[in-house]
Amino acid sequence: MPLVKATIKDEVKAAFMQVIDQQDDDREGAVDKVADKIADAVINAIKSMQITYSAGLTSPMGAVTGTFNYTIS
């Protein structure tokens, strides 16, 4: 699954909207909730990345050597 900026943006926006709608005056708690949700959005984005190996590694009778050529999407 490729990285989609809109998905990350939607998760971050939802985090801020959740805090804006809360009724109490606990700023520290609000900031903590936003930070937690943003961390979740980043982790979800990282987990959704796809690394595609294209070439570069060899193992001609021993340890794998070479340069790992790849694309990230």
Q: Which residues, 6 or more positions from 57, have their beta carbon under 8 angstroms from its beta carbon?
A: 64, 65, 66, 67, 68
Q: pLDDT at position 63, please?
A: 92
- pTM to 2 decimal places: 0.62
Q: In this predicted model, what pLDDT tens digit does every residue of 6-19 receive, in sequence order?
A: 888 898 898 888 88
Q: In this predicted model, what pLDDT tens digit does every residue of 4-50 receive, in sequence order?
A: 788 888 988 988 888 876 766 777 888 888 889 899 988 988 888 88
Please give the tally of structural domains in the chain: 1
Domain that holds residue 20: 5-72
